[in-house]
Amino acid sequence: MALRQTVPIPYLRGVNVSSYSKGMPFNPVDSVSQDSYSLPQHVFKPFGKHSISAGLECISSLGFNCIRLLVFLEACFTISGNIANDYVDGIGDFIMAAHARGFFVVLDFHQDNYSRRLGGSGLADVFLPASLRTAHTIFKGLGESWGSQPLTDKRYWTCWMRFWDNVLIDEMPGWPDMPLQELYIYCITATLQRLYARDGLFVDAIDIINEPCLPEVFAGQLLFVPWQTRTRRGQLIEFYVRAIASLEQTGFHGYYFLEPFNYDVSYLMRFSIGLDGCCNRVCEAIPELDRKRLVFAPHCYQPLRNLGPSIDCILQNHIRSQEAGGFSWMVIGELGDVTYGAPEGETILDKQLKHLTSMAIPWIIWEFCPVYEASEAESRDMYRITSNIHSFPWNGEYCSIVGPRLQPLPIYINVLTHYLTHLQERPTHNKLSTSPTPFSSQQKSLYILLRDGINTISAYHLQRLMRLSGQTVFTWPSIQWYVITKSTHVPSTAQTRQYLRDFTLSNLGFRRYADAMVFMRQYGGLIVCSDRSLLRGAYVCDLLAE
């Protein structure tokens, strides 16, 4: 079955959307008493008091075309291990409404620091050892300690060691007796099955697990056992193999977003573990799977400009990891202002987005969460003065790009809008040239061939192709052949090569390269389609080899 995507991967400009548990009220933080521990929430309220329609309309008006929807396994299941129908059906309502507005939807099975029992979110009590199922952690300085908790709290080390060693769960009434990884796969598969039981519902992409944690970051253990990282990488890849095999049985035909370990090339570390050989391993285990459905989806956070690697270093490492993993696509699944409104946050984010745009790497910003009732400044100041966690959003993050009335905040107005307006406004250029320039083996040019009766081409497409190639642009309006590029004709990076190939395919309606043949050697080995009935688009590009 063909991918039923609403937006091609290279064009994704998305925003992360929480689903109740990432913003106030949040249990156990919002319990009646800080000594109590309330039951998990099973209400799907992605925009707080605002309706799904109002939230989606706002996101669309801001220029985004993609939503990474955070869902929590703890909320998807009851304490006794049954599907929480109201919550999962709410997810389905959201996906249907988002598709009706043309959004590409990534379903993100989200965990942060494992469990809310430990001050995090995402995983149900069944994933914890029995000794931690009564834990009740509310950090006094939750915001300041959030990012460093996996480095300093041995309970996280215990949980993730058990997870990657795939030990059998501690028995819990109503839940199947499974190893931890198999239980996780069982849960996400059951959730997707419930969603796919609805007629007409489909998901564009699944992020299998958010920020899987490397246990050896605890107390800097990886400095003493660096070889262990290779073992962990192998465990993560095999986990992805089994998860994909299970999800394929549900009828899912979209993309799989595969994340490396959460501290991989992060602002605190200068190493890259990556997912080397991942695509080969997945396709070896599932031969019928199209490799292009596998997407490398790392995150990119830089809270401090002068600590850790630069954005250039981070992205170069991510690109190397993408290529070593064999991925056709890379999407930055999270990035955002983690200075919580400090002036340098805008500078950091702007630099990140400039690099991503220039390198044609799609991204999904963190986050759209209009549930914070106080203003950003009031929340931050009150929290730091009183350490009252109720005065500040959950885990100290005030990263929302909109406020409680859905109004854009400064981080959007001052930074993001410059990278999104081109998605809303599609101006056109007239033909750029009336005198064709003959091909020379000494030049490298990006040729735009206009179809008969077509007088304009999209400025956005043209500018993007020019930026990717870095070459001069010519048009040959008198030529009536239609071309499709070979991979040997385009730059060597997988991201750019895949973008140009898929750009051509999607615009002209090609379904396979077998429909093309060599046309004229003097034009640099152009490829033309022998079946003109397949040509539905107005233009196409070919980057000629040097």
Residue-wise pLDDT tens digits, 249-280: 999 999 999 999 987 756 556 667 899 999 99
Asked if the model's pLDDT at residue 543 lies above 70, the reply is no
Residue-wise pLDDT tens digits, 288-315: 999 999 999 999 988 665 667 788 888 8
* Segment 452-467 mean pLDDT: 51
Least confident interval from 109-118, 187-196, 323-332: 109-118
Residue-wise pLDDT tens digits, 331-359: 999 998 877 777 788 999 999 999 998 88
Asked if the model's pLDDT at residue 479 lies above 50, the reply is no
Name, in order, each residue with C-beta under 8 angstroms of 397's C-beta and a sequence gap of 6 or more: 143, 146, 338, 340, 367
Asked if the model's pLDDT at residue 451 lies above 50, the reply is no
Residue identified by tokens 């929290």 is 383
Name, in order, each residue with C-beta under 8 angstroms of 76's C-beta and a sequence gap of 6 or more: 83, 84, 87, 88, 187, 191
Q: Nearest-CA neighbor of 52 among 89, 5, 11, 6?
A: 89
pLDDT tier at 374 (50, 70, 90 boundaries)?
Answer: low
Write the CA distances from 163 to 128, 130, 183, 340, integer angstroms: 9, 14, 10, 32
Q: Nearest-CA neighbor of 474 among 440, 503, 515?
A: 440
Predicted local confidence at residue 150, as pLDDT = 80
Q: In 249-342, where does DSSP find H-type helix?
A: 278-285, 311-325
Cα separation of 46 and 125, whole Å?
Answer: 23
Tell me the range of 105-114, 142-151, 270-279, 417-426 where mean pLDDT is highest.
Answer: 105-114
Which residue ranges form the domains of the chain, and what is each CATH number?
10-424 (3.20.20.80), 428-543 (no CATH)
Least confident interval from 3-12, 91-100, 217-226: 3-12
Cα separation of 275 and 290, whole Å?
Answer: 18
Cα separation of 137 and 159, whole Å?
Answer: 15
- Average pLDDT of the chain to the nearest whole number: 75
Buried b (16+ CB within 10 A) or exposed e, 11-42: bbbbbbbbbbbbbbbbbbbeeeeeeebeebbb
Backbone dihedral region for residue 449 (phi beyond 0: left; psi -120 to 50: alpha; all else: beta): beta
Asked if the model's pLDDT at residue 509 lies above 50, the reply is no
DSSP code, position 171 = P
pLDDT tier at 435 (50, 70, 90 boundaries)?
Answer: very low
Please report the DSSP string for 465-522 in residue order: HHHHH-SEEEE-TT----B---GGGS-SSHHHHHHHHHHHHHHHT---GGGEEE--GG
Q: For the chain, how far is it from start to end, CA to CA, in angstroms?
A: 38
Predicted local confidence at residue 89, as pLDDT = 96
For 319, other C-beta atoms within 10 Å of its C-beta total 17
pTM of the model: 0.76
Predicted local confidence at residue 112, as pLDDT = 86
Tokens of 143: 């915001």
Secondary structure (3-state) at 225 = coil
Phi, psi of 98 (to 5 degrees): -65, -40
More confident residue, 246 or 405: 246
Asked if the model's pLDDT at residue 439 lies above 50, the reply is no
